[in-house]
């Protein structure tokens, strides 16, 4: 088997290009920071346990150079040998979601066309209903293809993950590789398959928004806002992340 894995309202913008304020009524939501990974040795790791048979992953990304190789964005691993679920961007600008059991591919779904651009923020959601997954880019579904369909229902209840990682393929049975080169922002996890309406609300016309009241959200990392390096705070649960080999936050955010 090859060791290469193709994976991982009302609003206004303030006068400052680094601050977004969103919300309804008298509330406000400030978004001023993201994490920037160098593609060399930067990574983030946090505890993550989930036995749900459905779920969704939401994240904002801004690649610096997606052509350097397959790059992991989000990774979920157990203690098992080459057991993982991943989100990655590939060298052609496509996005891939994959699941592996003992190194054997259970399923892989990929966007049919390039959906990311270097230097541009993109919102990515994967919504999994228990048997199939749907990829959303910037609030809308895109054309996608299942490249592998051995077992399309294989999910967290099968993987039994213990750890989530951002920006690296680090799992029992593989050497650390496929590091992410670019910015990651507002990463969150849900135990249900998000609907198109819910995804659109999270995308919020291109501005990250408050997720604290979202149904069935189990983890939410602001990636800078309210954080003190090297800790990324889990704003929903208690599984804080730890930044490794970098400690500064970027003021580059979706606007």
Domain ranges of the chain: 34-244
Kindly give the confidence (pLDDT) of every residue in the chain, 255 residues in length, as a single tens digit, with 9 standing for 90 and above: 444 444 443 333 333 344 444 443 334 689 999 999 999 999 999 999 999 999 999 999 999 999 999 999 999 999 999 999 999 999 999 999 999 999 999 999 999 999 999 999 999 999 999 999 999 999 999 999 999 999 999 999 999 999 999 999 999 998 889 999 999 999 999 999 999 999 999 999 999 999 999 989 999 999 999 999 999 999 999 999 999 999 999 999 999
- Cα three-residue angle 236-171-78, rounded to 5 degrees: 55
Residue 87: burial class (beta carbons within 10 Å; 0-12, 13-18, 19+): buried
How, if at all, do strands 140-141 and 43-47 pair? unpaired
Residues 172 and 79: beta-carbon distance below 8 Å: yes
**CATH fold of 34-244:** Jelly Rolls (2.60.120)
Residue 235: helix, strand or coil by DSSP?
coil
Closest CA to 252 of 232, 234, 225: 225
Q: Tell me the β-bridge partners of 145.
A: 110
């Amino acid at each position: 088997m090859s060791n290469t894995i193709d994976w991982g309202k009302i609003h206004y913008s303030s006068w400052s290009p680094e601050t977004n304020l969103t919300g309804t009524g008298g509330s406000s939501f400030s978004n001023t920071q993201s994490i920037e990974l160098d593609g060399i040795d930067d990574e983030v790791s946090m505890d993550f346990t989930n036995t749900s048979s459905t779920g969704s992953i939401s994240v904002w990304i801004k690649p610096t150079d997606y052509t350097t190789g397959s790059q992991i964005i989000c990774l979920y691993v157990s203690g098992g040998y080459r057991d993982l679920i991943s989100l990655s961007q590939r060298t052609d600008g496509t996005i891939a979601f994959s699941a592996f059991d003992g190194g054997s591919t259970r399923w892989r779904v990929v966007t049919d066309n390039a959906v990311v651009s270097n230097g541009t923020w993109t919102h990515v959601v994967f919504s999994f209903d228990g048997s199939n997954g749907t990829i959303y880019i910037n609030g809308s579904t895109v054309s996608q293809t299942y490249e592998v369909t051995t077992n399309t229902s294989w999910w967290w209840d099968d993987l039994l993950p213990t750890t989530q990682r951002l920006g690296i393929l680090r799992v029992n049975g593989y050497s650390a590789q496929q590091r992410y080169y670019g910015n990651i922002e507002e990463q969150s996890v849900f135990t249900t398959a998000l609907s198109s309406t819910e995804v659109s609300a999270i995308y919020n016309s291109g501005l990250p928004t408050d997720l604290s009241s979202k149904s069935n959200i189990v983890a939410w990392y602001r990636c800078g806002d309210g954080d003190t390096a090297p800790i990324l705070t889990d704003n929903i649960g208690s599984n804080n992340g730890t930044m490794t080999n970098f400690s500064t936050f970027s003021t580059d955010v979706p606007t």
